[in-house]
Chain A
Amino acid sequence: EIVLTQSPGTLSLSPGERATLSCRASQSLTSSYLAWYQQKPGQAPSLLIYGASSRATGIPDRFSGSGSGTDFTLTISRLEPEDFAVYYCQQYGSSPTFGPGTKVEIK
């Protein structure tokens, strides 16, 4: 099983600031099969990024994904009030697994 580790666990930032979230895999991912999701309290997750760097339909361009192999990054260029949430990475190169999540909270 591929284990995903996310850091930091919590990120405290102000609106307008840049957020950088990290996801590290225990082994190299096939063809960058890495996705990112946003989950707000009481809501289902929503897909942001797939294939490590492709934005899902309707996702604003302040969200970007990068990385390959074992190290991946989700960047939010300028935080909007609605971006404060929990973010999960997921690999789907083998039996799908999720990281434990990074909470982005208002500072």
Chain B
Amino acid sequence: EVQLVESGGGLVQPGGSLSLSCAASGFTFSNYAMSWVRQAPGKGLEWVSAISGSGGSTYFADSVKGRFTISRDNSKNTLSLQMNSLRAEDTALYYCAKNYGDYLLSAFDIWGQGTMVTVSS
């Protein structure tokens, strides 16, 4: 069964850092680009970042560029998102999503259940 399981969410103060992880199973992880998409409480979806299957190419939304880093470990089938200088507006449910192919720009055919990040003092 194809599955994505996120972890690492929690409560963090403004200006703080947090690292999210996503464990993938049921498919050849290195063959696919992966993304993070977030959803603020009661709001719509916002794409955050993508990384190619090899990890050699990354892409970020302007809202997080310079603050967030995306990486992957293909030996462990794990995707990560390092979030620094967090702001209240980063509060959201963060989904890990599998891209449809090894394309940074893609639809997302598999989603995890999400991990909640709350930025508040």
Contact = CB atoms under 8 A, between A and B. Distances in A.
A100 interface: yes
Contact of B45 (A51, A88, A92): A88
A99 B62 CA distance: 17
B61 A95 contact: yes
Contacts of B95: 44-45
B119 to A, nearest CB: 21
B109 interface: yes
A17 to B, nearest CB: 25
Interface stretch (B12-20, B71-79, B82-90, B100-108): B100-108
Contacts, number: 56
B112 A96 contact: no
Contacts of A35: 107-108
Interface of A: 1, 33, 35, 37, 43-47, 50-51, 56-57, 88, 90, 92-101
Given A90-B108, A96-B105, A98-B46, 19 more contacts: A1-B62, A35-B108, A37-B108, A43-B113, A44-B111, A45-B45, A47-B100, A47-B108, A50-B100, A50-B107, A50-B109, A90-B107, A92-B107, A94-B105, A96-B35, A96-B47, A96-B50, A96-B106, A100-B44
